[in-house]
Amino acid sequence: MTIVVQKLALGGDGLSVMVKDTIDIAGWPTRASSRALADAPAAVEHARVVKALLDRGCRILGKTSLHELAYGTTGINEWQGTADNPRYPGRIPGGSSSGSAAAVAAGLADFSLGTDTGGSVRIPAACCGVFGLKPTLGRISRAGVMPTHSSLDCVGPFAGNMNVLIEAMKIIDPSFISLPDTENITLGVVPVHAGSEVQAAVDQALKTSGFALQTMQLPGMEAAYDAGLVVINRETWNACGHLLETGLVGQDIAGRLLSAKDTTDQALEAAEQVRLQFTAEVDAALEHCQILAMPTMPDYPLRVSDAADTRAAIGMTAFVRPFNLSGHPALNIPLVGASGLPVGLQLIAAKGADELLCAVARELVGRLENLQQSV
């Protein structure tokens, strides 16, 4: 299984970590799992988030594979190889941070780092059955992270449980403070169109969590989903379009880049208007309830054999990409559906309320575990 692309042994004797290969580690090339970057020079200095890991005594064990150039949702990579899904063999690991999610699912590290531009932490977390957090936009430094410029991308951690995920946030974000109380929290349940078993698993978890529930409509989600792709396409073309000249970019990514080239200024301007409108819509919803809840993915992860067409699988991000556009923190909680396959419960909080988001997630998971033990 192609999870680790560069084996390392850096740092102290603290928590062990794997790092997505879009994040610079001094002395090692950043290749983003692309043959077009196979001869990239070694990074000169650590990304700021890597320096934070080392300053806190973490042990960096390796760099992880990904969907080429972090521009896909399935994790399939013909050149470097697709990371196996350790807990759900034969199913896609999700993208783009496939190796980082798989590393945690396989027990190769205490936690890992990925990046999330349109769901690239939450989708692989859901596919591989682990926890994954996209922090508030701008909360974690992206200095030394590829691409250099993004108005959507966030560095975020994966972990096998909420306690480690919270510890990871404390390590990479010095401003992450003590978690608040979760009393009197209301979850705003957002109606979406998901597969019946996915929706049933999410509904059951929310119903038995003990939190007050309130239906909360977000009518702008579809427009935000479309607008988010416009922004992703323009920014990815600006960052990676020149690599097409090498002739070494994978066919699926090359096709997407060529399409992205045609993103017009008018389309981008319209997308930015949607960003403002949807951000205000989510902010307003979060004034009525402190946390929003919905599935992370519309359905179970595809089989690898059915996921060759990246564009056909892009709908996987229907429930996650809107919150990259708005910038709100969002987290995946792993569940299991009736067919024994992975389901993700996504929670969303107000900007800057990452601590509350993690506190509610930890409390919700603890209540579910206590109920299971008492049965």
* Ranges of the chain with pLDDT below 50: none
For the question of whether the overall pTM of this predicted structure is more than 0.85, the answer is: yes
Catalytic status, residue 16: no
The β-bridge relationship of strands 212-215 and 186-189 is: parallel
Query: Which residue type, as a one-letter code, is found at position 138?
Result: G
Query: Which residue type, as a one-letter code, is found at position 168?
Result: A
CB 119 within 8 A of CB 126: no
Dihedral over alpha carbons 340, 135, 94, 36 (to 10 degrees): -170
Among candidate residues 33, 34, 65, 96, the one labeled active-site is: 96
Query: Which residue type, as a one-letter code, is found at position 115?
Result: T
In whole angstroms, what is the distance from residue 196 CA to residue 193 CA?
9
Domains annotated on the chain, with CATH? 4-374 (3.90.1300.10)
Among candidate residues 97, 120, 150, 326, the one labeled active-site is: 120
In whole angstroms, what is the distance from residue 145 CA to residue 21 CA?
9
Dihedral over alpha carbons 300, 81, 243, 28 (to 10 degrees): 110
Q: Given this model, what pLDDT does residue 312 score?
A: 62
Model confidence pLDDT, tens digit, residues 62-102: 999 999 999 999 999 999 999 999 999 999 999 999 999 99
Which stretches within 8-89 are classed as H helix? 48-55
Best CA proximity match to 136, nearest among 354, 356, 291? 354
Q: Given this model, what pLDDT does residue 1 score?
A: 67
Which stretches within 6-149 are classed as H helix? 48-55, 98-105, 122-128
Q: Given this model, what pLDDT does residue 349 score?
A: 98
Catalytic status, residue 20: yes
Q: Given this model, what pLDDT does residue 80 score?
A: 94
Q: Given this model, what pLDDT does residue 310 score?
A: 61
Q: Given this model, what pLDDT does residue 372 score?
A: 81
Tokens at 147, concatenated: 């691409």
Q: What is the DSSP code string of 289-353?
A: -SEEEEESSSSSPPBGGG---TGGGGGGGTTTHHHHHH---EEEEEEE-TTS-EEEEEEEE-TT-
